[in-house]
Chains A and B, each alone.
Chain A
């Protein structure tokens, strides 16, 4: 090519176009969103989203460090997908949901269910009426599920996160935090399984996941779905 002089400016132009369209344009649109709130008589209420803080914040680091995002997403898509019908959320998630998060764990593959709203009471991963749906997914349920997923779902392909737990000798009356385990996954007599600090933080984070607060840009949410 005799016009080699055009190569660098030309290539840089394609790069600049890509950077402007793919990065700067969306930044100007969604990068500077502020949390949503209600204002009545000068009083601000109903602020959403709130920053992840305290134990859940530690738990989020555990979540990312364990690589949970390799199999779990935190994105609920619109009704063109089955995400909402599956019970993963009352509405699709939008940019404002994540606006306070540094390093939001979007995930890219669903070998497990979406967890955007895992902490919400209406979250489910079973079809309506399925008898496998647990009565509630409380901390005990999460501990058991993390310690041995097969104890909850015999078809689960989730690995056991037993390294987040300590198997130790029972002393005295035993720890109040000890897991109530079914016979197949229980340790030998005289031993108990207790969650580590990481497991506690992780479960606190999972329980805090709730992106179902109504937002205008996410479309109307019916009252029935909200509850």
Chain B
């Protein structure tokens, strides 16, 4: 373990030298130029994360004790979409975009200019989130699963995104070596979000789009938001982080490129799993089911590629970034596998309307996207703040609680959905009885949100210290184990 004791910065040096022998000195300047934008994205993201966890906790308790906090604005039907909205559009999106900006700017090796545009964008996005959350809680929502926020909120979010994206495009420069695989996934995800969110919201507000068609469009947007924006951007971040942290070149570049194209081509056809069994053409359901199964190929290919890369370095075990990212990747492939299994017709008919899909979503957002963002923030913040994380114990608490919380929460929802699905498929079992047989798992789910709450509180405290530059002196990376543990 002697090489483990080397500071993290030194360990990355070989990679940096290969990719940018001349312009290494610009890195601190690049970091300075994006510090305010990236930090504000992380900071506001964390606020939404805490709010979302609180709302999810309330929503989970309500399933066990329906009379708990029985106020109209906190009723299950409002608090649940509000929790989903603040998690997906708040924390996951803002955190990921912050990470994406840092990664893209580092890769383009150019100091960013005109950050005022981006700051305005972040402000507009947050305003959209605020209006959306309040609207959902007072009942001003659209009946679209995953797209409940009213149009005003969607417009603000899109305007905010456009400004941030414009700033990225203005600052981005494709270097001679071209875009790395990580950057491909990130750019792909960002573009997908812009295109689909605009198209989908325009189409749903079109008066001639009604009934099932309108639900088809909304499902296309909300499914795409998770599978074609959040997931590929997080995957792209992992493609950047793993080689960077471990100092190892990516196991296979060609495999990465094939996975990238396959992911977007196939992923774009998975969107209608949310309406399986519903009043939409049968061929559409079949295409989505087949694509969902096929999507396992680029997901598993990417995860294999990255985990193989990581496994060859001893730093993988001690670097917080690598640990969070590796955990996220394993969850990603598990969630994709669960999705694939549940898209088989017989399974789908049993579990589709149960909490099973909610479990897969929880795994994706908390277990994969969230963990990758945390890993990246552990890597990025020291470079933005000029000091290292103060406590490796806090990172350990965060990691353990977040990992167990996400895995348990997802597993409980999936199990509860499976049992309820088996009962619901048997018309001899009374409906309320089928709900009771799955209720046992609600305990685990409520507990998992408590664990996630502890994890996120630990992270928030640590993050705040970093923002105020309270930490270890620069140069000695805070690692999880070994002589650098504190």
Which positions in A face B, CB cutoff 8 Å? 1-4, 7-8, 10-12, 14-15, 17-19, 21-23, 25-27, 29-31, 64-71, 73, 75, 77-78, 80-82, 85-86, 92-95, 97-113, 125-127, 130, 132, 149, 153, 155-163
Question: Is residue B216 contacting chain A, with contact meaning CB distance below 8 A?
Answer: yes
B141 touches A65 (CB 8 A): yes
A22 touches B216 (CB 8 A): yes
Query: Hey, which chain B residues are within 8 Å of A155, CB to CB?
Result: 432-433, 435-436
Q: Knowing that A18-B271, A75-B277, A86-B427 touch, tell me 14 more A-B residue pairs with CB under 8 angstroms.
A: A11-B187, A12-B195, A14-B265, A14-B268, A22-B284, A64-B139, A64-B142, A66-B72, A66-B75, A98-B215, A99-B211, A104-B143, A125-B431, A153-B432
Q: How far, in Å, is B243 (CB) from chain A's closest CB?
A: 16
Give Cα A157–Cα B436 distance, bound, in whole angstroms.
Answer: 9
A30 touches B271 (CB 8 A): no
Question: Is residue B314 contacting chain A, with contact meaning CB distance below 8 A?
Answer: no
**Interface CB pairs A-B, < 8 A, 12:** A4-B174, A7-B187, A12-B195, A82-B426, A86-B424, A99-B212, A104-B211, A104-B214, A127-B430, A149-B66, A155-B433, A163-B71
Q: Which residue of A lies closest to B82 (CB)?
A: A67
Query: Hey, which chain B residues are within 8 Å of A17, CB to CB?
Result: 265, 268-269
Give Cα A24–Cα B426 distance, bound, in whole angstroms.
Answer: 36
| Interface 9-mer from B14-22, B319-327, B353-361 | B353-361
B427 touches A127 (CB 8 A): yes
Query: Hey, which chain A residues are within 8 Å of B271, CB to CB?
Result: 18, 22
| Interface 9-mer from B43-51, B95-103, B202-210, B463-471 | B202-210
Question: Is residue B23 contacting chain A, with contact meaning CB distance below 8 A?
Answer: no
**CB proximity to A under 8 Å, residues B390-438:** 424-433, 435-436
Given A98-B210, A157-B66, do A113 and B195 touch, yes or no (CB 8 Å)? Answer: no
Given A10-B261, A95-B279, do A22 and B220 touch, yes or no (CB 8 Å)? Answer: yes
Q: Name B's interface SS.
A: helix
B265 touches A29 (CB 8 A): no
Query: Hey, which chain B residues are within 8 Å of A99, CB to CB?
Result: 210-212
Give Cα A163–Cα B81 distance, bound, in whole angstroms.
Answer: 20
Give Cα A155–Cα B437 distance, bound, in whole angstroms.
Answer: 11
A156 touches B214 (CB 8 A): no
Query: Hey, which chain B residues are within 8 Å of A125, CB to CB?
Result: 431
Cross-interface CB contact of B427 among A3, A68, A82, cutoff 8 Å: A82
Cross-interface CB contact of A4 among B179, B357, B429, cutoff 8 Å: B179
B431 touches A18 (CB 8 A): no
Give Cα A161–Cα B287 distance, bound, in whole angstroms.
Answer: 41
**CB proximity to A under 8 Å, residues B175-231:** 178-179, 184, 187-188, 191-192, 195-196, 199, 203, 207-217, 220, 224
Give Cα A93–Cα B277 distance, bound, in whole angstroms.
Answer: 10
A26 touches B281 (CB 8 A): yes
Cross-interface CB contact of B432 among A1, A65, A92, A156, cutoff 8 Å: A156
Question: Is residue B251 contacting chain A, with contact meaning CB distance below 8 A?
Answer: no
Query: Hey, which chain A residues are within 8 Å of B192, CB to CB?
Result: 11, 15
B211 touches A95 (CB 8 A): yes
Query: Hey, which chain A residues are within 8 Å of B214, CB to CB?
Result: 102-104
- Please give me the 10 A-B residue pairs with the lowest Cβ-Cβ distance, nearest first: A67-B77, A18-B268, A98-B211, A65-B139, A85-B427, A1-B178, A70-B77, A108-B145, A31-B213, A110-B353
B179 touches A157 (CB 8 A): no
**CB proximity to A under 8 Å, residues B342-367:** 345-346, 349-350, 353-355, 357-358
Query: Hey, which chain A residues are within 8 Å of B224, CB to CB?
Result: 18
Query: Hey, which chain A residues are within 8 Å of B264, CB to CB?
Result: 11, 14-15
| B 151-195 binary contact with A (CB < 8 Å = 1; else 0) | 000000000000000000000001000110000100110011001
Question: Is residue B62 contacting chain A, with contact meaning CB distance below 8 A?
Answer: yes
Query: Hey, which chain A residues are within 8 Å of B269, CB to CB?
Result: 17-18, 21-22
B: interface residue count bin: 35 or more
| B 127-148 binary contact with A (CB < 8 Å = 1; else 0) | 0000000000001111111000
A103 touches B265 (CB 8 A): no
A101 touches B174 (CB 8 A): no
Q: How far, in Å, is A81 (CB) from chain B's closest CB?
A: 5
Given A19-B199, A27-B213, do A158 and B66 touch, yes or no (CB 8 Å)? Answer: yes
Give Cα A136–Cα B299 distance, bound, in whole angstroms.
Answer: 52
Query: Hey, which chain A residues are within 8 Å of B461, CB to CB?
Result: none
Q: Which of A17, A68, A85, A127 has the most CB of B within 10 A?
A: A127
Question: Is residue B76 contacting chain A, with contact meaning CB distance below 8 A?
Answer: yes
Give Cα A27–Cα B204 distance, bound, in whole angstroms.
Answer: 12
Q: How far, in Å, is A77 (CB) from chain B's closest CB?
A: 4
Q: How far, in Å, is B64 (CB) from chain A's closest CB?
A: 8
Q: Which residue of B lies closest to A27 (CB)?
A: B213
Question: Is residue B70 contacting chain A, with contact meaning CB distance below 8 A?
Answer: yes
Cross-interface CB contact of B431 among A2, A86, A97, A101, cutoff 8 Å: A86
Q: How far, in Å, is A115 (CB) from chain B's closest CB?
A: 12
Give Cα A188–Cα B221 distance, bound, in whole angstroms.
Answer: 50
A68 touches B77 (CB 8 A): yes
B278 touches A75 (CB 8 A): yes
Q: How far, in Å, is B442 (CB) from chain A's closest CB?
A: 9
B349 touches A66 (CB 8 A): no
Q: Which of A65, A86, A105, A159 has the most CB of B within 10 A?
A: A159
B143 touches A23 (CB 8 A): no
Question: Is residue B34 contacting chain A, with contact meaning CB distance below 8 A?
Answer: no
Query: Hey, which chain B residues are within 8 Å of A19, CB to CB?
Result: 196, 199, 220
Q: Which residue of A lies closest to B282 (CB)?
A: A78
A109 touches B425 (CB 8 A): no
Q: How far, in Å, is A82 (CB) from chain B's closest CB?
A: 4
B142 touches A103 (CB 8 A): yes
A70 touches B81 (CB 8 A): yes
Q: How far, in Å, is B50 (CB) from chain A's closest CB?
A: 22
Q: Which of A1, A29, A93, A97 has the most CB of B within 10 A?
A: A1
Q: Which of A11, A17, A100, A101 has the most CB of B within 10 A?
A: A11
Give Cα A57–Cα B199 distance, bound, in whole angstroms.
Answer: 28
Q: How far, in Å, is B59 (CB) from chain A's closest CB?
A: 9
Question: Is residue B52 contacting chain A, with contact meaning CB distance below 8 A?
Answer: no
B284 touches A71 (CB 8 A): no
Q: Which residue of A lies closest to B417 (CB)?
A: A109
Query: Hey, which chain A residues are within 8 Å of B428, CB to CB?
Result: 127
